[in-house]
Structure 1
């Protein structure tokens, strides 16, 4: 059988966001075209029997059925000369797609009105228009840019109403509100929406609002205490909210609540399951998907991360929780019609469409069956009881072609976040390393999602218990698996995993090589230059650079640069606004100045999501650099 290689990235089909009307499921399939160095996507339609390509592409996505199921709306970029986002309609029975309208700054979200005559669209709007030809950035607020988007200063998300027949659009909201998601009222006279009221001063807070479609009168329903990510309006004018109370800052789990705007009372419905109500598993070959919240027959359906699994759950208004789709896998998104349709993957099976009907599950697509021709290493789970008594989930992947009695080099992989998790989702990077002859070690140390708030809360303690967990996982792996060569172990990670890689090489020389990616090296520069730095750093490190100067420096890997003896490769994207370029430049400069073994690889026109959404050739080059660095050292 074949071994999975870097170039096999081109084989993956990324099955993504879906919508369902009765038996019909519309969903997106993206392909990675290395020759053209682009992604192409098309809408597919499953009719209860088979899935067929429904639109021609090349960049169609985000399908939505009209309320009567006769139309499918989707977003696209078909006009070659246009940089604007396009909104199309196509009859479900088939035929030509009709361009309805365009939006200059993209389409964030959209919903059909109950009568199907209007689409409510969220798009970015400039608060002050620049003069034609003006290239000077006059910035009056933070954040001024955002990863993957670019400049966001002077822009806000607002709602437009688009007539389905004529394509005429009317701006509904305005001002400083930054609208993030919306739902229509049942009678179509109002739109409920979630928005930030003050993105600069309260970047973590988002509230629930309602606007009258005719009068444009806006009413705020919540009290600026929570971060609401989604909601469902109920018939009794109460709401189901998916939100974080922020009681423990960024470590707070997102739960499902019942909210009454009249009394302002909330009830946590998912109190019995201390887990985040979304999918936080890492994967480098997934398609873009919505994270739905669906109310049906007295139950609220949602995805939650439970340890290394992301499963579909449901909860009723009394707080009873049931697992609907279970198993060692990652449920990416779902919809409910005559049955439940969902997209899922696991550690050796990339994304596919499944249906669940009458308790029986069926896989209905085979876009990634090519993987069956390859010999893959199945992750082997083990638990590590660390020095403070906590048990940590960990895994190893043996090298492909493993032979008893032989010693193998190993690579410790560290996830980002820190409040994400590794688990039963497909990681192309891990499989490539295993195919190249490395043992892959990965785990969910303190700070990870999926194990409760106490486990996740490492605020003000970066590089402490999380560092010990990782080192003790490596110790246990060496002890338990005698085929690991303890003298030949490398370490790599991205984002928080990059920070931790930097921290590790500044605190131990046990690793023979390291690759740090999209990392933080200096918390003070991170605070002042990045899209989330000015509120993320105070939450995670404590205080700000003026009130906690010592703490910011103590937790900065840059401080420990003189200690580093491990050969280090720094990989960074030049348009990474989450961990901006200076994080890599100053760390590289310091290490070169100090005479250390270090190289810097910079990827132009890429952002923080290089490993997941970067240009195909850049993604492949990144993997080649990681493999070659580990092989060299």
Structure 2
């Protein structure tokens, strides 16, 4: 089956005509199916709870892009219909308070526009041109204003070096890039231009946007309105004075007259995602404590705007809160958090208690089975959320706090509904390190027969402080379709199991997480259907770190695929886009003060032990785990004479699989081709 899938991968990447030939019903997932996948994203329920508008994201085989349109569906079910479609990309739909109108962002012909549409007639109009793009889009409660954030460029730093005047018509090289801070690049964006994100407001009935803030250091996020429509609240952090520390931020308020911002919070750590209660008296926010551990869960806190000490809600819940929204009456907040690989929609009362409403949010990544998901709530406490499973990407679900839920969409019925997909089973075992229970999932190849034996792929998540779950994954499904049993896991260090579990690798990564993974393989092999001579391992980012670490301590794998790894902690800390701001949390000391510790934890220190044939792959524009990390490892393997191959995906940043559909196929295809080449079952006698 491996050769069949590899052939279909080659066809899918070769010609559009091959796409139609692989669309027959039945059989396992085909490579070309990736171009037909869709997901529902950013579901926005109207304030009156009658409709949901959502972003419908579709892969396009001709442009090799994921395009977005806006669709609308009644809360009670019935016909979905397109609301905004076209040759552009449409995102961030936001309802007016009267539920009659939406604003949204349109990217058309290289321009970013703020537009509005009247739902009953479908008539649309352009409100503003957005030369710096836009984010944090929201209506004022009185319906008069639309707020958003937009990047405003600033002059690039200039140094007088005595250059002569450039003659008219002369074509000189671009001037040097000059930086005086560590914030000069970022993954997904590349080189960062000079400037800062600012808050703007625009009249909802048309007119020029007006800039409210004058930020000249740091970054703005999490903008929301107060109920009186006179002030906007936001989180402000990442200042140079704080060493660009991503865990240090405070909440501010600015009024529509653009007077000086007022600082609302001033606590150690980060305060973010401010939300003001309907009566205007209480601030709810997410709080990240100022601790020197590699991971810190985010707490939900409330504080009176009239003064007093903050109070933590859900203090007995050992999970990080990712989203919180007030209910209509201000008696509690809807919340989203991850728990043991599941994303939960819950309700937290101000006086205590937690109702778990749904445990199946997710499905907003095409490539790997990470936890994910979002929700919104109406004025009458109805909700809309992205619901997903191990066999489908996100669809729109709706419901109430205690009532039955309803799924409004089934966007992949025409593709996944016709395929024999891998079944996914929860799997737990006791770690050989200390007996602690570790959780993972097994994806079985279609047509699995437990009386037979199969090759196995261990697929390791990145982060390392993230989590996998029973979510659809294009990559996992393609591996299973090629005939592999796939084991993907949440070793210690993963989120969604409590702060203690996540920090068991604090200042010790990679460490006992390696034992968790190896004992997981042992537990799976013991079930009798995995061929111990045909074990393979791959992972990306933090998973690439652990893949390289594993093959440095064991030779039990037939082949490995090391994805976008950190291979040398010193070079990573001093050159990655986020390296200079996180060394204090992952090591607690600089590389020059403890070079031996940085080297001890670097997988490169173990390369002398490696005997496993190893593919090394990375995005050609990766700024998170820079390309030279992969190159260091590959060249070391080459010097040692280990069978190895370096694959660089041109134009791709760190998130290879979710950037363009063909890149997901290139990544999976190269991994499968390498494993096929070194599968002992294919060895010549």
- TM beyond 0.5: yes
Query: What is the aligned partner in structure 2 of residue 581 from structure 1?
Result: 627
| Shift in Å, 1:435 | 0.9
Cα distance in 2 for partners of 1:95, 1:263 equals 46
TM-score (norm 2): 0.86
Deviation, 1:315, is: 0.7
2:297 aligned partner:
253
1:319: how far off? 2.7
Q: Report the CA distance between 1:384 and its aligned residue.
A: 0.6
1:567 aligns with 2:613: yes
Between the aligned partners of 1:192 and 1:303, the Cα distance in structure 2 is 21
Report what 2:281 is aligned to.
237
Answer whether contact 1:72 1:92 (CA < 8 A) is retained. yes
Q: 2:230 aligns with which of 175, 178, 189?
A: 189
Structure 1 residue 469, shift from structure 2 partner: 0.6
Counterpart CA distance in 2 for 1:228 and 1:250 is: 18
1:323 aligns with 2:367: no
Q: Structure 1 residue 331: deviation in Å?
A: 6.7
- Structure 1 unmatched ranges of 5 or more: 279-290
1:231-380 mapped onto 2 (5 Å cutoff):
231-234=274-277, 235-247=279-291, 249-260=293-304, 262-263=306-307, 265-278=309-322, 293-297=325-329, 298-326=331-359, 332-337=373-378, 338=380, 339-357=382-400, 359-370=403-414, 371-380=416-425
TM-superposed CA distance for 1:237, in Å, is 3.0
Match of 1:203 in 2: 245
Please tell me whether residue 518 in structure 1 is matched to residue 545 in structure 2.
no
Residue matched to 1:107: 134
Specify the alignment match of 1:535 in structure 2: 581
Cα RMSD (Å)? 2.0
Q: Distance in 2 between matches of 1:378 and 1:249?
A: 37
Tell me, yes or no, if structure 1 residue 119 matches structure 2 residue 146. yes
TM-aligned CA deviation for residue 197 of structure 1: 5.6
Q: Is 1:459 paired with 2:506?
A: yes
For this pair of structures, how many residues does the alignment match? 616
* Aligned counterparts of 1:112 and 1:236: Cα–Cα separation in 2: 17
Paired residue for 2:83, among 26, 32, 54?
Answer: 54
Alignment of 1:441-452 (within 5 A): 441-452=487-498
CA contact (8 A) 2:360 2:389 kept: no
Structure 1, 45-54 or 497-506: larger mean CA deviation = 45-54
Q: Distance in 2 between matches of 1:71 and 1:606?
A: 37
SS in structure 1 opposite 2:327?
A: strand
Contact 1:142 1:153 (8 Å CA) reproduced: no
State which of 498, 517, 520 in structure 2 corresponds to 1:470.
517
The structure 2 residue matched to 1:157, chosen from 189, 192, 197, is 197
Residue 72 (1) aligns with residue 102 (2): yes
Flag the 1:408–1:325 CA change in 2: closer, same or farther, 3 A.
Answer: same
Question: Structure 1 residue 429: deviation in Å?
Answer: 0.9
Unaligned runs of 5+ in 2: 1-25, 159-165, 167-172, 363-370, 679-685
CA-to-aligned-CA distance 1:580-633 (integer Å, 9 cap, x gap)? 111111111121122111111111111111112x22222211111111111111
- Cα contact 1:311–1:331 (8 A) shared by 2: no
Instruction: Say yes or no: does 1:631 pair with 2:676.
Output: yes
For residues 290-324 of structure 1, the C-alpha deviation after alignment (integer angstroms, 9 at most, x for no partner) is x5634333121111101021110111112311101
Compared with structure 1, are the counterparts of its residues 239 and 554 closer, same or farther at alpha carbon in structure 2 (3 Å cutoff)? same
Query: For the Cα contact (< 8 Å) 1:331–1:344, is it kept in 2?
Result: no
Is structure 2 residue 207 aligned with structure 1 residue 173? no
CA contact (8 A) 1:209 1:220 kept: yes
- Which of 594, 597, 602 pairs up with 2:648? 602
The match for 1:225 among 242, 249, 268 is 268
Inter-partner Cα distance in structure 1 for 2:264 and 2:456: 53
In structure 2, what is the Cα distance between the partners aligned to 1:443 and 1:552? 26
Superposed counterparts of 1:424-503, under 5 Å: 424-457=470-503, 458-479=505-526, 481-503=527-549
Indicate how the Cα distance of structure 1 residues 566 and 229 shifts in structure 2: closer, same or farther if over 3 A, else same: farther
Mapped to 2, the partners of 1:316 and 1:462 lie a distance apart of 38
Q: Deviations over 1:117-164 (max 9, x none)?
A: 221111112233579996431111122111112233632221112222
1:423-465 Cα offsets, whole Å, 9 max, x none, are: 1211111111111110101111100011101100011111221
| Among candidates 157, 160, 180, match of residue 140 of structure 1 | 180
| CA apart distance, 1:52 | 0.8
Give the corresponding residue for 2:29. Answer: 4
Distance of aligned partners of 1:217 and 1:616 in 2 relative to their CA distance in 1, 3 Å threshold: same
Residue 96 of structure 1: how far off its partner (Å): 3.4
Is the CA contact (8 Å cut-off) linking 1:353 and 1:364 kept in structure 2?
yes
Structure 1 distance, partners of 2:583, 2:33, is 38
Question: Aligned pair 1:216/2:259, yes or no?
Answer: yes
SS of residue in 1 equivalent to 2:374: strand
Distance between the aligned counterparts of 2:511 and 2:372, measured in 1?
32
> What secondary structure is seen at the aligned counterpart in 2 of 1:256?
strand
Query: SS where residue 321 of structure 2 aligns?
Result: coil
Deviation at residue 224 of structure 1 after TM alignment: 5.0
Question: In structure 1, how many angstroms separate the alpha carbons of the residues matched to 2:124 and 2:176?
Answer: 39
Distance 1:148 1:506 in 2: 31
Q: Computing the radius of gyration over CA atoms, which structure comes out larger, 1 or 2?
A: 2
Distance 1:575 1:361 in 2: 43
Distance 1:224 1:103 in 2: 34
Give the Å deviation of 1:85: 2.3
Are 2:540 and 2:564, in contact at CA under 8 Å, matched by a contact in 1?
Answer: yes
1:122 and 1:539 map into 2 onto residues whose CA distance is 30
Shift of 1:328: 8.8
TM-score (norm 1): 0.93
Cα contact 2:360–2:388 (8 A) shared by 1? no
